[in-house]
Copies of this chain bind each other. A is one copy, B any other.
Amino acid sequence: MVKYILFDIDDTLFPTTEFAELARKNAVRAMKTFGIDKTEKEVYRTLEEIISRKGSNYEAHFDELCKKLRITNNARFIAAAVAAYHNTKTAIQTYPEVPLVLLKLRERGYQLYAATNGNTLKQWDKLIRLQIALYFEDVFVSEELGVEKGDTFFKKVLKKLGATPEECVMIGDKETADIAPAKKLGMHTIRVKQGKYRKEPTSAEFQVDDLGEVPGIVENLSKHQ
């Protein structure tokens, strides 16, 4: 009997990869508007290099960008870049089918959780910005559990839920983080072909193009048990 449905967040509930790219591009364009004396290409490449080195949760991307590009009198450029970046990041929207899928599952009595790598506050922030936070009972985040998604992460989740693996469905885009470890423990798994891993193979029990197919799959699982 399925009781708990676990969702990955990034590239599962909203197009993270696309929004992140757009946010970076808008930031660079805003710096150009304020008269930065470099080509957009050069600025964008330098920014990408900094993000890939420092990670996307680093707090001072644009300070470092100005330092690297030897831009002085930089407060206006940093402020313009941060405003454009945040304007895009705070305008994130779910994939269109997501709110109705979550509502249907809640109505049918399933308990919904998010299961995600990253920073606890930032992952809650995303659900709140997406206006879907209230559908979820709780969020399991690697920062809080002390381990990235894998066997140990999902074992801890089961313990916190007081659940057996068969009572859980894990839904995500990434084979190594979302699917393989959950499946190994005996959870049901649904892989969604979205984001930058969408062309990679999967061992998931089910594979879908978008989350619109999830309520049907979950109902079938519940009937046949």
Contact = CB atoms under 8 A, between A and B. Distances in A.
Contacts of A217: none
A128 interface: yes
B79 A125 contact: yes
B75 A120 contact: yes
Contacts of A203: none
A20 interface: no
24 contacts: A30-B128, A34-B133, A34-B134, A75-B120, A75-B121, A75-B124, A75-B139, A75-B144, A76-B124, A76-B133, A76-B139, A78-B121, A79-B122, A79-B124, A79-B125, A79-B127, A79-B128, A80-B128, A80-B133, A83-B90, A83-B128, A83-B129, A86-B86, A86-B90
A87 interface: yes
Interface string A37-48: 000000000000
Interface string A119-159: 01110110111000110000101001000000000000000
Determine how many copies of this chain the complex contains: 2
A144 B72 CA distance: 13
A168 interface: no
A197 to B, nearest CB: 26
A1 B22 CA distance: 47
A14 to B, nearest CB: 15
Nearest to A33: B134
Interface in A60-94: 75-76, 78-80, 82-83, 86-87, 90
